Amino acid sequence: MLHSKYRWSPLPCDEEAASRIAGQLNISPLLASLLVTRGMESPGEAEFFLKGSLADQHDPLLLSGMKEAIPRIRRAVDNGERILIYGDYDADGVSSTTLMIYLMRRLGATYDYYIPHRTKEGYGLHIPVLEHFHKKGFKLIVTVDTGISAVDQVAYANAAGMDVIVTDHHEPPANLPEAYALINPKLPYCTYPFKGLAGVGVAYKLAQALLGEETPEAWTELAALGTIADLMPLTGENRVIVKSGLASMARSAFPGMTALLGTSGWSSGEVTSTAVAFGLAPRINASGRMSHANRAVALLTAESMEEAEAIAEELDVLNKERQMLVEDMVQEALQQLEDQAEAEGVPDVIVVAGEGWNAGVVGIVASKLLERYYRPTIVLGIHPETGECKGSARSIPGFDIYEALTDCADLLDHYGGHPSAAGMSLGRERLEEFGRRLNAFAAGRLGPEHFVPVLPTDLACSLKDVTLQAIEQLQHLAPFGMANACPRLLLRGLKLLECRQMGKDGKHLKLILGQNGKTVEAVAFGKGEIASLLAEEAWVDIVAEAGINEWNGARRPQLMIQDLAVSHLQVFDYRGSRNPALQLEELRGKLGKLPAIDSGMSAVVLNSGSAFFQSLDLKDTPVWVYDKNVGLLPGNDLAQTAGNDAMTTLFVMELPESPEGWTGMISAFAGLERIYMLHSPRAPQERIEPPSREQFKLVYSLIYRGADKGLREEDLLAVLATRTGWSKRMLEMSLGVFEELGFIIRASGMIRLHPSPSKQALETSNRYRELGLLAEIEQMLQYGRVPEITEWMLTHTQGAS
């Protein structure tokens, strides 16, 4: 058995609506069903989703504040006023700033731009910066991806005679800045039809309002970059903007975009949202995290390919440095959490902080901790001299982290963000109270159900449905991203035909899966460790995304596994190991490090009085011993204390001497998930075989000829072994059958025939039945293949239950 990481939740699908959409749009039922699961209830909505274009965008003047902002910017341009673009240091802010630079150039404006240093200054508008530009004669400030919370800073600008136009998309606070114009679709009084624009999306709408139909389509590349990087929903207006931007990137008008695509591994063909999310965005963000975001702006505004390639290489190096830094910080944070968990348990809201931690990457670290613990997580870097803590938060569905920070606003110097991600700063002396208050706030809002991650699945299907044609149809739903994930297919009952680790350090997993004669290759990135938890020919259930693997001109389906599970007991074969004790320690150590083994206990199973009691270090291991009467008994205090219900993993070091031992073990451990077979093969002189009437008749006839006056048992066994080829153990057990039936008398090492034996059938002997069952058990467990043993064991488990 292998538990899935997520709780799989099928998305509801209105079959009537799907049928109606399929018929009216002339598309496949598969595609229609997936559209319905994405919220398309009518053919019109579905058609817009599939075929929507830039022509279907909303009028930018519907954004509140836009009608005031446009004449003010035009007046500034006409009068030669100096305009300051004030941006942010993440990929959305960089994209927004870049787009505004191109806009100002096209308008012929006198402008400059400013992005604060992530670690030295932090997020948002800063009065010293405004003061600096005021002294330089700037009269108009246009913010991008920032400013909606800048009450004091805008008040300062107003007092200094500077007008501020705020363009932003973050959650508006209760107290808004008194700016010349506030443009944010999330403002409570804004009636703009689409609320999900990124910061760069709002900047793009400002450009549209100023330029109208003359807005360059190539600028959608910048809008697509920021929208994908900032994890905005790829639905509605975002979808048409991103589709246009991705199409344009393949023949980009921006040398910097082409150079960065090349650095991230793209050479030609379609540019996907995945390439942007995992190739472009991290390198753009690395600029602001590890150096200054101005380098990323310089890249995207570069006019020559030579300059662009040089900066792209620079950002690539910064990204590699960022990756190493993140890994070091994650390990330090994990150690903090493990120490805390030992003392108090893992809190509902995780808050960790470290002196000298780079504030530029705390958000990434928070995401990694959230993935591991599935708790709202805040990671803060502490300035060693000032004690200022700057951090980032990442949250889980059902817990609004922005609302939680608002509840703690009196402890914070600054905060802002979304329900799922936010940033904040506070003094070191308030850290402990901050963590306490957050968890007090969460206590009334988070229940056990919130801490189980959910993986929505779009469609249950079989392997025969995963064809090239079907996968090509799924691509009509692209681009994929937030609120429009790549379709997740649920496939159950797949036979594991091949399993191996691949990549550096075996980090990834490659499987060959089969069902009803069809096979497919499946890859699970980052799940290489699971290979040791998948038994030969296990039956696997998976949630996967379907793609096409193109290699040497051949195209074939490929599954990208998001999660997998094995719902049956699994058997792992280590029979005949030269050193079972060493093998046991290696397996226990390996399993103890696997996150997938997150519950239950492991135990060792032996015969009573086994030599393993002396050769194994079992002081920290529950030990169970076979017992003929009850099947299984605790062999040490740990087993007695833990009880059999806690056992999920068994290491079988020896086979039992009686069938009751094995059947009793199977019935005793109801929660058993995996069995590791470490027993050695029995010696030839101990082998037993399934008994038959003919064989027993032969043995009895041999006894009958020579035992009427009595024979020494040792002499008889030697003769019988020569004539039958049976092992000594088999013959001894056979004599026990004859003795039970009253055919022979055994006493003082002698055997003689019973003078008046009763007439009884062999099958009436308990020992005969036990011999048959024990022979079956040993035959299977010593010589059977793992799939045969698994099936046999599952049958017996069901019978025992």
Residues 99 and 85 in one domain: yes
Closest CA relative to residue 434, chosen from 414, 412, 401:
412
Report residue 41 as tokens: 């209830």
Residue 50 domain-assigned (yes or no): no
Residue 48 domain-assigned (yes or no): no
Residues 561 and 616 in one domain: no
Q: For residues 550 and 513, what is the distance between their CA atoms, to the nearest angstrom?
A: 19
Q: For residues 544 and 799, what is the distance between their CA atoms, to the nearest angstrom?
A: 34
Q: Contact 752/709 with Cβ under 8 angstroms?
A: yes
Q: For residues 328 and 60, what is the distance between their CA atoms, to the nearest angstrom?
A: 45
Q: Contact 786/535 with Cβ under 8 angstroms?
A: yes
- Give the CATH number, domain containing residue 245: 3.90.1640.30
Residue 530 domain-assigned (yes or no): yes
Give the count of beta carbons closer than 10 Å to the beta carbon of residue 189: 8
Closest CA relative to residue 415, chosen from 439, 393, 448:
393
| DSSP symbols for 422-474 | EEEEEEGGGHHHHHHHHHHHHHTT--GGGGS-EEEE-EE--GGG--HHHHHHH
The neighbouring-strand residues paired with 456 are: 9
Beta-carbon contacts of 372 under 8 Å, excluding residues fewer than 6 positions away, are: 334, 595
- Give the CATH number, domain containing residue 703: 1.10.10.10
Q: What is the pLDDT of residue 708?
A: 67
Residues 610 and 557 in one domain: no
Q: Contact 32/25 with Cβ under 8 angstroms?
A: yes
Where does residue 524 fall: left (phi above 0), alpha (psi -120 to 50 degrees), or beta otherwise? beta
SS3 152: helix
Give the count of beta carbons closer than 10 Å to the beta carbon of residue 408: 20
Residues 88 and 177 in one domain: yes
Q: How far is CA 262 from the centre of its chain?
A: 28
> Where do runs of H (alpha helix) occur along 554-691?
580-592, 612-615, 637-642, 659-668
**What stretch of H or E contains 626?**
strand 623-627
Residues 277 and 187 in one domain: yes
Q: Which of 383, 418, 449 is the last residue of a domain?
A: 449
Report residue 100 as tokens: 């505004």
Rounded to 10 degrees, the C-alpha dihedral 783/788/789/794 comes to -160
Give the count of beta carbons closer than 10 Å to the beta carbon of residue 311: 22
Residues 110 and 208 in one domain: yes
Q: For residues 305 and 254, what is the distance between their CA atoms, to the nearest angstrom?
A: 9
Residue 246 domain-assigned (yes or no): yes
| Domain housing 590 | 570-680
Calculate ∠ Cα 786-789-792, nearest 5°: 150
Residues 421 and 465 in one domain: no
Rg for the chain (alpha carbons), in Å?
Answer: 36
How far from 74 is each of 209, 322, 577, CA to CA, in Å? Answer: 11, 41, 82
- Give the CATH number, domain containing residue 444: 3.10.310.30
Residues 220 and 149 in one domain: yes
Residues 646 and 725 in one domain: no
Closest CA relative to residue 145, chosen from 194, 104, 186:
186
Residues 740 and 628 in one domain: no
Counting Cβ atoms within 10 Å, is residue 750 exposed (0-12), middle (13-18) or buried (19+)? middle
* Helix-helix angle 66-79:199-211, to 10 degrees: 60
Q: Which of 394, 427, 449 is the last residue of a domain?
A: 449
Residues 724 and 644 in one domain: no
Residue 70 domain-assigned (yes or no): yes
Give me the average pLDDT of each 10-residue run along the chain (801 residues). Answer: 92 92 91 92 93 95 98 98 97 98 98 94 93 98 97 98 97 95 98 97 98 97 98 95 97 97 92 96 96 97 97 97 96 93 89 93 95 95 94 95 96 90 94 96 92 92 92 93 94 97 93 96 94 94 94 91 95 90 89 74 90 82 88 90 88 88 84 92 82 86 77 89 89 92 89 85 89 89 90 73 46
pTM above 0.85, yes or no: no
Counting Cβ atoms within 10 Å, is residue 197 exposed (0-12), middle (13-18) or buried (19+)? buried
Beta-carbon contacts of 556 under 8 Å, excluding residues fewer than 6 positions away, are: 468, 521, 548, 549
Residue 691 domain-assigned (yes or no): yes
Number of domains in the chain: 5
Q: Which of 449, 475, 501 is the last residue of a domain?
A: 449
Residues 670 and 593 in one domain: yes
Output b/e per residue, 626-646; b: 16+ Cβ within 10 A. bbeeebbbbbbebbeeeebeb
Report residue 716 as tokens: 């008889």
SS3 annotation, 537-571: CCEEEEEEEEEEEEECCEEEEEEEEEEEEECCCEE
Q: Contact 797/783 with Cβ under 8 angstroms?
A: no
Residue 339 domain-assigned (yes or no): no
The DSSP secondary-structure symbol of 103 reads H
Output b/e per residue, 338-360; b: 16+ Cβ within 10 A. eebeeeeeebbbbbbbbeebbbb
The neighbouring-strand residues paired with 555 are: 550
Q: What is the pLDDT of residue 801?
A: 46
Q: For residues 669 and 666, what is the distance between their CA atoms, to the nearest angstrom?
A: 6
Q: For residues 136 and 166, what is the distance between their CA atoms, to the nearest angstrom?
A: 21
Report residue 281 as tokens: 């965005």
Residue 338 domain-assigned (yes or no): no
SS3 636: coil
